[in-house]
């Protein structure tokens, strides 16, 4: 994330505060640009600064021009005034350039609070957020389809991967995600998640991940080897990923695994004791089986409760994912992260809309510009309804 720090350089305390904040944000992975009313912008600005001692309003104009030029040159995501004296100019520059203004934190706020405020301001202003897509099963034929509508034709999925590649999207894992990461039309990011860990994730998904060199996060039911939770629904019995398959996928570096409880329990109705056990035990068991830290979990059925959120935090997860509920900004609530479900009947145009970065922000009348889908995407993806 590119953050511009606006500062008035009149006092040594201002310079120290700005330098401290800049260093802290850079250490957390942000690109930081410092703009002050003393930075020359070329000949005109240097002439302005010569007038500044006698005519303070010239100094203000010079400072405003400095900030605006820095915003445009560096394509800044958010602007923060490090000192009270810089706030009027920062606010005006933000309005003129339509850049996110961070004004909800105090001068001495900890860097974590400032970082969160910068990201939230960016999401609120631009309405861009990293899309997190949710899948379950991939199928090849109609014989593999159940009644739950959690499948997607593998040809459709491959067409979606081709679309992401052709339009410059970069896939990522949750272990790579920090508050410095944002969705930018010039730096498009997307996350692909798969719930339950069906064996087709190895047989059909994994070859495509290797072919297109994209990353995915798979949420495993730690205590089962088949989809026993679907028995009451009359769904076909499906094998889940074996230990050998999991290890091979993990070793590729393309797959990150997360927890999906021990028994695929509905946490919205479970007792507090069961909820804590299902969440804590799934993390411990998967970490022992995989030999790595499991940082995220997904709530089965997307259902959660206050107890479940608390249990996820106590267990040591960084993020816990729902389905189509939760705040619109990813970092607003790390234990209620919203995802975008991909259903079997999705069309190429609808998929393109889901990865614009603005899908979860949309009102019903919203229209978002997107690349035109070519016929080859439609031919590949519309095929059979399975």
CB of 82 closer than 8 Å to CB of 3: no
- 100 and 175 fall within a common domain: no
Q: How far is the C-alpha of 373 from the C-alpha of 227, rounded, in Å?
A: 36
Listed in sequence order, the DSSP H helices in 300-374 are: 306-315, 348-354
* Cα dist from 129 to 68, 178, 189, 328, 368, whole Å: 24, 13, 9, 8, 14
The boundaries of the domain holding residue 38 are 2-126
Burial class (CB in 10 A: 0-12, 13-18, 19+), 243: exposed
- 194 and 50 fall within a common domain: no
**DSSP 3-state of 101:** strand
- 17 and 70 fall within a common domain: yes
* Cα dist from 65 to 42, 84, 86, 87, whole Å: 11, 18, 13, 14
Angle between helices 243-251 and 272-290 (to 10 degrees): 70
CB of 170 closer than 8 Å to CB of 187: yes
Domain boundary, last residue among 61, 93, 126: 126
Domain boundary, last residue among 76, 101, 126: 126
**Beta strands per DSSP E along 252-331:** 255-259, 296-298, 319-321
- 102 and 186 fall within a common domain: no
- 113 and 177 fall within a common domain: no
- CATH number for the domain including 37? 3.40.50.2000
- 262 and 148 fall within a common domain: yes
Element of type H or E holding 133? strand 132-135
C-alpha distance across the termini of the chain, in Å: 40
**DSSP 3-state of 301:** helix
Domain boundary, last residue among 126, 144, 164: 126
- 156 and 296 fall within a common domain: yes
Q: What is the pLDDT along the chain (386 residues), one digit of tens a residue?
A: 999 888 765 556 667 778 888 888 999 899 998 877 544 333 344 443 443 444 555 566 777 888 888 888 888 899 888 877 778 888 888 899 989 988 766 656 678 888 888 888 899 888 899 999 999 999 998 777 777 788 999 999 999 999 999 999 999 999 999 888 999 888 899 999 999 999 999 999 999 999 999 999 999 999 999 999 998 887 889 999 999 999 999 999 999 999 999 999 999 999 999 999 999 999 999 999 999 999 999 999 999 999 999 999 999 999 999 998 999 899 999 999 999 999 999 999 999 999 999 888 765 433 333 333 333 333 333 333 44
- CATH number for the domain including 171? 3.20.20.370
- 155 and 272 fall within a common domain: yes
CB of 134 closer than 8 Å to CB of 339: yes
- 14 and 145 fall within a common domain: no
- 259 and 303 fall within a common domain: yes
Burial 309-336 (b: 16+ CB within 10 A, else e): bebbeebebbbbbbbeebbebbbbebbb
Beta-bridge partner residues of 258: 219
Element of type H or E holding 213? none
CB of 321 closer than 8 Å to CB of 339: yes
Predicted pLDDT of residue 50: 44
What does the angle CA 366 – CA 368 – CA 372 come to, to the nearest 5 degrees?
A: 140
- 197 and 95 fall within a common domain: no
* Cα dist from 75 to 23, 98, 299, 337, whole Å: 20, 11, 37, 28
Count other C-beta atoms under 10 Å from residue 58's C-beta.
Answer: 16
Element of type H or E holding 7? strand 2-7
User: Which tokens belong to 324?
Assistant: 């189509």
- 99 and 197 fall within a common domain: no
Q: What is the pTM of this model?
A: 0.85
Predicted pLDDT of residue 39: 43
Task: State residue 334 phi and psi, 5-degree precision.
Answer: -65, -15
Task: State residue 139 phi and psi, 5-degree precision.
Answer: -130, 155
What total of structural domains would you count in the chain?
A: 2
């Amino acid at each position: 994330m590119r953050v511009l720090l606006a500062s008035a350089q009149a006092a040594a305390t201002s310079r120290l505060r700005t330098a401290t904040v800049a260093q802290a944000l850079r250490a957390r992975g942000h690109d930081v640009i410092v703009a002050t009313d003393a930075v020359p912008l070329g000949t005109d600005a240097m002439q302005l600064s010569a007038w500044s001692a006698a005519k303070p309003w010239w100094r203000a104009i010079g400072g405003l021009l400095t900030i605006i030029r820095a915003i445009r040159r560096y394509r800044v995501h958010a602007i923060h005034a490090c000192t009270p004296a810089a706030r009027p100019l920062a606010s005006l520059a933000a309005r003129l350039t339509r850049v996110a203004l961070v004004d909800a934190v105090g001068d001495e706020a900890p860097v974590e609070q400032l970082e969160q405020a910068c990201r939230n301001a960016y999401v609120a202003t631009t309405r861009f957020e990293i899309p997190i897509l949710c899948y379950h099963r991939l199928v090849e034929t109609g014989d593999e389809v159940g009644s739950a509508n959690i499948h997607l034709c593998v040809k459709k999925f491959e067409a979606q991967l081709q679309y992401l590649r052709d339009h410059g999207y970069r896939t990522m894992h949750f272990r790579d995600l920090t508050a410095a990461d944002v969705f930018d039309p010039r730096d498009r990011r997307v996350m692909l998640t798969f719930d339950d860990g069906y064996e087709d994730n190895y047989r059909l998904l994994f070859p495509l991940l290797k072919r297109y060199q994209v990353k995915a996060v798979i949420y495993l039911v730690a205590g089962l080897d088949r989809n026993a939770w679907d028995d009451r629904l009359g769904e076909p019995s499906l094998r889940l990923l074996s230990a050998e398959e999991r290890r091979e996928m993990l070793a590729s570096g393309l797959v990150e695994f997360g927890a999906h409880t021990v028994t695929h329990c509905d946490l919205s109705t479970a007792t507090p004791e069961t909820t804590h056990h299902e969440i804590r035990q799934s993390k411990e068991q998967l970490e022992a089986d995989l030999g790595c830290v499991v940082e995220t979990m997904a709530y089965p059925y997307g259902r959660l409760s206050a107890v479940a959120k608390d249990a996820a935090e106590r267990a040591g997860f960084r993020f816990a994912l729902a389905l189509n509920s939760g705040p619109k900004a990813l970092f607003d609530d790390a234990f209620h992260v919203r995802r975008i479900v991909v259903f079997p009947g999705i069309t190429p145009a609808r998929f393109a809309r889901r990865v614009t970065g603005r899908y979860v922000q949309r009102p019903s009348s919203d229209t978002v510009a997107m690349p035109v889908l070519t016929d080859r995407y439609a031919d590949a993806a519309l095929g059979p309804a399975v």
